[in-house]
A and B are shown apart, each in its own frame.
Chain A
Amino acid sequence: MKKTFKIGGVHPHDNKISSAAAIEVFPAIETAYVSMAQHLGAPATPVVAVGDKVKVGQVIAEPAGFISGYVHSPVSGTVKSVGPRADIAGNMVPHVEITVEGDEWMEGIDTSDTIVKDIPYSPEEIIAKVKACGIVGLGGASFPTHVKLAPPKDKKAECLILNGTECEPYLTSDDRIMRERPVEILIGGAIMMKALGVTRGYVGIEENKPEAIASMQKAAAEFPQIEVVVLRKRYPQGGEKQLIDAVIRRQVPSGALPIDTGAVVQNVGTSLAVYEAVQKNKPLIDNVITVTGSCLPVQHNYKVRIGTPMSKILEVAGGLPENAAKVISGGPMMGRAIANLDAATVKANGAILVLTDKETRRGPETSCIRCSKCAQACPMGLEPWLLNKLSRAGGRYDELEAERIFDCIECGCCSFTCPAGIPLLDMIRINKAEVMKIMRSRVKK
């Protein structure tokens, strides 16, 4: 029996229709719009001015706090403007606009394909390099990786888990990099293990990616300290807490951090970025984005420079079909609908998913029949129907807190499974933010 996590979970159809499409390098763009909010935490502070000439990989913004990160120019050219621009949600975020001229890279960046296996650096040097290259978690949350590689003094890391589950339907970018660049991913894992001072590493991959599993297992033969763990297909296995449960059978207690179980989880994409940063001095300036959807004639996995407008990617991919109703950044379960197609990609963008009206339409909402499907589906052991009820009553924050609303990982299993079509996650999300705010203000006092 293959491993999986203990509680909850659902089985959406995986729709990995783009898994056969090899990674293509996206053609050069004319203008890049680089967001300063590429990571969780404070937006970075731009250090370039209008008219400056920049090269690929040059630092254009510096971190503005502990949880923040460097941003590098993904293209070479001239800075055209520095100012607010709408992101995918329509919110104004500071951007640096760069007009592309040629493709001149910073000196010291190794752009060759040679695989460098030796790791001559100390843990401190590795963390410094990861920070300087602006690496963030590419699983979606874009948490700065250097912060995660240096856990607090009182917490001890025991193992590293590389997340290759890609449990969201449709997404195939991690699948493709695991097939095409397995050795680099594993070297990245070895680098992070050295930085953390751990000797045990795992790669968790779901069973619906047999080619990726074979390729990773073949490459892992040279890495005795890293084990490839094949997992049963189940959403949300890629959630940090669920993956730890599935791979090493330890549960993260309510309110605690994953590091409390001794595990550090990093996405395989992050691992590849860490390899490129440490061994090749290449900052995080591009990522693999899946462009998919049943209504698209051709599916793609593009290696795209950060700052490319979504509309440009869709145009190159063949344009939006007539019956397209919704474009989503990310997967259908946790992804966000793109309100502004002119928004540019950021480091953590993993997919652009085009759905038709039929695929996105919600059913009518009816009454809760207490079938308890949501409670069975919740991977965090919450009772979504109760949270929904309390949320709708308004102002019952102490009860919501007692029901651990703050543990919700917003995976959407409850809304997905509800036969009454109740927008459970929507209702939970609006009050979760409020409860977390109250809890934080209490800590401050």
Chain B
Amino acid sequence: MTGTILFTIACLVALGLLFAVVLYFVAQKFKVEEDPRIATVESILPGANCGGCGQAGCHAFAENVVKAPGMDGFFCPVGGNPVMTKIAEALGRAVEEKAPMVAVVRCQGSFANRARTNDYDGYASCKVMASLYAGDTACKYGCLGKGDCAAACKFDAIHVDPATGIATVDQDKCTACGACVKACPKGVIELRAKGFKDRRVCVMCINKDKGAVTRKACSAGCIGCGKCAKACPFEAITVENNVAYIDFSKCKMCRKCVDECPTHAIQAVNFPPKPAAPATPATPAAPAAPAAPVTPEKPKPHEENV
């Protein structure tokens, strides 16, 4: 009995050694020469394989960045500037710092602001819903709130708020990989500059309908009145197709547009509270406005959303 066991063990060990030797020579013979820098770069990368950089994954990114002559066109949104600086150091290249970005859901059509005109009881997916009809409100541009973005996010940074029915971004977790931007069938989500001290100003609406139609559909929609564009001293705001857009590379965050906007579609976030004085002249203007069917009551800003 013991002899059989010993014989088996000896045989297996001998076979193992034989294969090890064969494999060693085969490995030497068919060795693939890979630039050692690829491994170095890959070890610096976060390894999320999210594809946010536009490459197939972290390894593909490392391969291509090593092959490329410079750092142009390569940016890991997850690692951001620190990772890019490290990679540049490892490769002995110079890198330009990129402004950090964040995903912004440009819609404030919460249950309170945007009345539901019908109930959707189909499959809970924005893509399916968008393929069937305009949506469950009178606004066919806004967030559908079925969470395709949340399903696409690999960093747990975007969720549909059950209280508002709108997707909200956790700016600390968001890496601006752009997966949600691609997942959204309505194109509501945009990657915008995170801003100095995370402060930023954004038009929180993409409704291209005429002002009256928008206003009927949602109390926080951009009606394309153009007051913000006139108020902007830096020509950062353009109004096209009845909707305003702030070019964040030109915006100096003076927040004049925020005060002008009659529907509060323009939102500023992470700013310290304003001193009370400049707000007073704006208030008497409100009662002077004709009694609109929709009272432009200031909607609750979704802080982490902007």
Contacts and interface: CB of A to CB of B under 8 A. Distances in A.
Interface of A: 86, 88-92, 326, 336-337, 339-340, 360-362, 365, 423, 426-427, 429-430, 433
B140 A90 contact: yes
A362 B134 contact: no
A339 B134 contact: yes
6 contacts: A90-B133, A92-B209, A337-B132, A339-B117, A423-B128, A430-B127
B121 A89 contact: no
A90 B135 contact: yes
Contacts of B118: 339-340
Interface in B130-153: 131-136, 138, 140
Interface of B is mostly: loop
A361 B121 contact: yes
B122 interface: yes
Contacts of B123: 362, 365, 423, 426-427
B128 A339 contact: no
Given A90-B133, A90-B134, A90-B135, A362 B121 contact: yes
A336 B133 contact: yes
B140 A91 contact: yes
Nearest to A365: B123
Contact of A91 (B117, B127, B133): B133
Nearest to A422: B123
Given A340-B117, A423-B128, A429-B131, 20 more contacts: A86-B134, A86-B138, A89-B134, A90-B117, A90-B138, A336-B133, A339-B117, A339-B118, A339-B136, A360-B121, A362-B121, A365-B123, A423-B122, A426-B122, A426-B125, A426-B128, A429-B128, A430-B125, A430-B127, A433-B131
Contacts of A89: 132-134
Nearest to B208: A92
Given A339-B118, A362-B121, A423-B123, A430 B136 contact: no
Interface of B: 117-118, 121-123, 125, 127-128, 131-136, 138, 140, 209
Contacts of B132: 89, 336-337
A335 B138 CA distance: 21
Contacts of A427: 123, 128
A337 B118 CA distance: 10
B210 to A, nearest CB: 9
Nearest to B209: A92
Nearest to A360: B121
Nearest first, the 5 closest Cβ-Cβ pairs linking A and B are A90-B134, A89-B133, A423-B123, A426-B128, A426-B123
Nearest to B139: A90
A90 B128 CA distance: 15
B25 to A, nearest CB: 40
B226 to A, nearest CB: 21
A86 B196 CA distance: 43
Contacts of B117: 90, 339-340
B3 to A, nearest CB: 50
B88 to A, nearest CB: 31
A330 B134 CA distance: 18
A90 B130 CA distance: 11
Contact of B134 (A91, A360, A433): A91
Nearest to A415: B123
A388 to B, nearest CB: 11
Nearest to B135: A90
Contacts of B128: 423, 426-427, 429-430
Nearest to B127: A430
B289 to A, nearest CB: 26
Contacts of A433: 131
Contacts of B125: 426, 430
A362 B125 CA distance: 15
Contacts of B136: 339
B116 to A, nearest CB: 11
User: Residue among A336, A337, A433 with the most chain B CB within 10 A?
Assistant: A337
Contacts of A336: 132-133
Contacts of A90: 117, 133-135, 138, 140
A39 B248 CA distance: 43
A361 B131 CA distance: 20
B195 to A, nearest CB: 31
Nearest to B129: A426
A86 B118 CA distance: 14
A90 B135 CA distance: 7
A391 B135 CA distance: 22
Nearest to B133: A89
B137 to A, nearest CB: 9
Contacts of A365: 123
B94 to A, nearest CB: 35
A344 to B, nearest CB: 16
Nearest to A91: B134
Nearest to B137: A90
A337 to B, nearest CB: 8
B305 to A, nearest CB: 25
| Most chain B CB atoms below 10 A, which of A90, A360, A433 | A90
